[in-house]
Amino acid sequence: MPKRLMLLISLYCLFSIAALLRAVTTQSFDVFTLGVLPVLVGIMMRTPWSSLVLKIYIGMQTLGFSALGMTAIIAYRITPEDVKVVVSDHNIPMLPLTISIIVILLLQYWIAFSKVTSHYLTRQTQ
């Protein structure tokens, strides 16, 4: 298994743990958070559909974060003091959050669209 894919699997394992914890605590299930589970299973089992599902999931993340970012920009124009991210009573600074989201998305794009990943996922298991 390529090291890039191992990195993606470990990242998606963290995502799935966070998604399951969020689903249990909020008692709500949605495709955006729990969508990582079929992607993770598909990659680990090297199924024929895993590459397509991976790319669709990354596209969903990109659309979701783009919509969130545009909403934040519009809200910042209206009332700048109200635009903040608060998780468990902790205020998260916007610049590090934005940079980390962009880095995580770019890392996923780099891994999903690399030839190494494509060859690994499309190669038949022996």
Tell me the percentage of the chain whose pLDDT exceeds 90. Answer: 47
Q: How far apart are CA 74 and CA 90, in angstroms?
A: 23
Task: Give the pLDDT band of residue 126 (cuts 50, 70, 90).
Answer: very low
Phi/psi of residue 125, each to 5°? -75, 145
Distance CA 79, CA 84 (A): 11
Arithmetic mean of pLDDT, 54-65: 93
Model confidence at 118: pLDDT above 70:
yes
What pLDDT shows up at residue 52? 92
Return d(Cα 18, Cα 40) in angstroms, integer: 14
What long-range pairs does 96-100 form, CB within 8 A, spacing at least 24? 98/69
pTM for this predicted structure: 0.84
| Tens-place pLDDT, residues 68-90 | 889 988 988 898 888 888 888 88
